[in-house]
Chain A
């Protein structure tokens, strides 16, 4: 059974940092691109970032470029999202999703507030 489990969310002050993790199981992790998508309160889904299967290619939404970094450890079947210089408008539930967007984690809430 494919499972994606996010962790690392929480409350952080503006300008602070947080690292999200997404642990994968039930499939050959190293064969798939992985994505992060977020859902902010009262808004819709927004694609944030993606990473290719070997970690050498990464892409970001303009709104997070230069502040967020996606990475992966195929030995640990885990994808990460390092979030720096956090702003109030980064407040959202962050989901990891497998490449074709066919499986998603349950989400991790990030709240940026003083």
Chain B
């Protein structure tokens, strides 16, 4: 199985800050990577697919990059409504494993 790691596990930043989360796969997953946002008590929401494509309706402050084994997710200007846990997930082969998540808080 492909293992997904994320860092940091949590972060605290101020409104307006640039936030970056990294995700690493244990083997080459090409660009078969999603990024999700999950607010407490809510369903996950797809933000980025194919590593860098913004899902329809998602604000442009969210972006993704990378390919192969190393990926980056960025919030260009953190907003109060961005408080959530963010997960990467690969879909190169089964099982479609998720990263352990990064909790984002407001400082």
Question: Taking beta carbons and an 8 Å cutoff, which residues of A are in contact with B?
Answer: 35, 37, 39, 44-47, 50, 59, 61-62, 95, 97, 100-102, 104-107
B55 part of interface (Cβ distance < 8 Å): yes
- Does B43 lie within 8 Å of A44, measured CB to CB? no
Across-interface contacts of B34 in A (CB, < 8 A) = 101
Across-interface contacts of B91 in A (CB, < 8 A) = 101
Closest-CB distance, A29 to chain B (whole angstroms): 18
Q: Which of A59, A62, A95, A100 contacts B43 (CB 8 A)?
A: A95
Interface size class of B (residues with CB under 8 A): 20 to 34
Closest-CB distance, B11 to chain A (whole angstroms): 16
Centre residue among B45, B94, B95 by max chain A CB count within 10 A: B95
- Does A101 lie within 8 Å of B101, measured CB to CB? no
Q: Which residue of B lies closest to A4 (CB)?
A: B43
- Does A44 lie within 8 Å of B45, measured CB to CB? no
Q: Which of B89-105 contact A (CB under 8 A)?
A: 89, 91, 94-101
